[in-house]
Every structure is written in structure tokens, then in C-alpha cells.
Structure 1
Amino acid sequence: MTETKATGYDGLSSCRVPEAELRTFLLDCFEIAERELFVGHEDRLVEKLKDVPQDRVFAAFCTYRQVSGHFAMGFGVGIEGRLADRVGRREFAERFAAHFGAYVLYGDTEPPGLWTVILADGTRLRAAMDEEDDRYVLDAVTAPVPGLPGVRVSEDLWRLR
């Protein structure tokens, strides 16, 4: 039997999620105990981890940060392989979007330079994006994104390989 390797789920959310709500979501999503999870703002990690033994291992380790443009928050969740077996990358983005009523951008198997956006209703779009520092702006999507009427719609993004 092959064991799934640890991985990470990175993404951008259209809404900023308070840390306590993010923690509750992750505990429920991955079905883990409180002691197995770390959640912290990426600018305050040193402070938050100062009393944690250096050899401590968390099943899920989540950092988040504020961003701008069409997104409000960036996140990264490092997870053990057993958690990836429970919840895949796409399912995680779908659950996040539905739970918080957000649209979520993430990357998986898209061609270089393209991303997937999951809407709160579960709709999956392909997207092209401009990014500079921590400013992320959708340039084109395969269908309209609620609340972003100015973003160009191009079904041709599905054809790019």
C-alpha cells in the first residue's frame, strides 16, 4: 500500500476570514483534533510559535495573510498525506468557497499561467490573473464572477493546454 505524501493547499479567497472561524472550518473539514492544527497570520508566526517545541508536528499547518485586488486573503495549508486522502485539493476549495460564501482561486493541473476559481455555488471556472506583490486581479475568466462585472469573459481559456 502506497502512503499519500504530505502536500499543501494554497489559495486566495474573496473574503477575509477571522482566524477563529478559519480554525473551526479546518478542524471540521479535515476532521482533526485541536492539538493537530496550527493557524496563524504569516507576519506573526515567530511570536505565535515561540512556546511551541521545535520538534512539534501538526497534521495541518495553516498560514494566512491579507491581500488586495479581487481577493482579500491568501492562505496556505500544509497537510499530512492522510488528510489529503480525506479531502482533495478541489474539494477543499469547494468546501471553503461554500462555507464562507466566497470565490476561491487555487492551482492544480491547469496550464502554466492559468488558475481555477471555485464560486460559492460550486461552479468551476478557469482564470488568468495579473499579480504584483500581494495584489491579485483577475484578467479573464471562462464565465462571469458575481460582483466582478468588469472582468473579461473568455471561454477560450478552456482550450489552452
Structure 2
Amino acid sequence: MTETPATGYDGLSSRLVPVSGLREFLLDCFGIAGHELFVGHADRVAEDLRDVPQDAVFAAFCTYREVRGHFAMGFDVGVEGRLADRVGRREFIERLAARFGAFVLYGEAEPPGLWTVVLPDGGRLRAAMDEDDDEDDLFTLHAATAPLPGLPEVPVDGGLWRIR
């Protein structure tokens, strides 16, 4: 039997999730014990791990950062293959969006510049966003296939679904 390789789930959330809420969500989502999880701000990982043995292994390793624009938080979650078997990327994003009442942007197989956005109710739409903005922490959508809650300024363009 082939083992599932470790993978990562990353994206952007419209809501900044408190670290305690993020930690609780990840423990529940993946069904792991507290010692199997690391959660820390992307700018403070080395500091947060200073007192952790160098040979420590985490089943899930999450970093987050504040961002600007149409999103409040970026996240990166590395997971062991056994956790990816339990909860796939799409299901993870859907659970995150529902749990925190946020819309969450992620990418899987969309054409360059296009992304999937999952709404809190599980609805999905496609959105256009430039990745080469001059500022690393600024994420602004240029169009979406349906209106986004709280973002009436984002134009609706149903034609984004036709781009391959």
C-alpha cells in the first residue's frame, strides 16, 4: 500500500482568526493531540521553537500572518500524509470557512491568476487576483464569478469559469 505524502494547505481568509481559535480548529479538524501541532506567527517561528527539541516532529505545522486588501490573514499548514488522508485540501478550506464565517481563497488547479473562493455556506466561486503586486502582504481581488459578502466593489464576471 502506498503512503500518502505530506502536503500543505495554504490560503487567505477574510477574517483574522485568533491563534487560540486556529489552534482549536486544527486540533478538531485533524483529530490530533496538542503535542502534534505547532501554530505560530510566520515572523516568529524560530523564536517560538527556541525551547522545542530539534528532533521534535509535528503532524501539523501551521504558520499565519496578517495581510491587507480583501483578506485579513494568510495561512500555511503542512500536514503529514495520514492527516491529508483524513481531511483533503478542499474539505479543510470548507471547514475553515464555515467555522469562522469567512470566505477563504485557495488554489488547486485553476489557471494562473485565478483562484477558488469558498464561502461560509460552502458555496464556491472563482476569483481573479494578481500575484505580482509590489507588496507581499496586499491581496486584492479584481473580479469574481458572483458577489462576495462585504465586497460590493469587486466586479462580477461569470466568464471567469470559461478560462482554462
Asked if Structure 1 and Structure 2 have the same fold, meaning a TM-score greater than 0.5 normalized by the shorter chain, the answer is: yes
* Residue among 126, 134, 137 paired with 2:137: 134
Q: Does 1:148 align with 2:147?
A: no
- Percent of aligned positions that are identical: 74
Query: Is the 2:116–2:124 Cα contact (8 Å) retained in structure 1?
Result: yes
Query: Is the 2:66–2:72 Cα contact (8 Å) retained in structure 1?
Result: yes
Determine the structure 2 residue equivalent to 1:14: 14
1:19 Cα offset (Å): 0.4
Cα distance in 2 for residues equivalent to 1:112 and 1:54 = 37
Cα distance in 2 for residues equivalent to 1:110 and 1:130 = 13
TM-score (norm 1): 0.98
SS in 2 for 1:96: helix
Determine the structure 2 residue equivalent to 1:33: 33
SS in 2 for 1:9: strand
Cα distance in 2 for residues equivalent to 1:54 and 1:128 = 41
Cα distance in 2 for residues equivalent to 1:41 and 1:35 = 18
Q: How does 1:1-161 map to 2 (within 5 A)?
A: 1-131=1-131, 132=133, 133-161=136-164
What are the superposed Cα offsets for residues 84-123 of structure 1, whole Å, 9 maximum, x if unpaired?
A: 1111111111000000000000011111211100011111
What are the superposed Cα offsets for residues 14-48 of structure 1, whole Å, 9 maximum, x if unpaired?
A: 00011011000000000000010000001111110
RMSD over aligned Cα, in angstroms? 0.8
Query: Is the 2:94–2:122 Cα contact (8 Å) retained in structure 1?
Result: yes
Bigger proportion of residues as strand: 1
Cα distance in 1 for residues equivalent to 2:62 and 2:32 = 13
Q: What runs of 5+ residues in structure 1 fail to find an aligned partner?
A: none
SS in 1 for 2:29: helix
What are the superposed Cα offsets for residues 37-84 of structure 1, whole Å, 9 maximum, x if unpaired?
A: 000001111110001111111000000000000000000000000101
TM-score (norm 2): 0.96
Q: What runs of 5+ residues in structure 2 fail to find an aligned partner?
A: none
SS in 1 for 2:142: strand
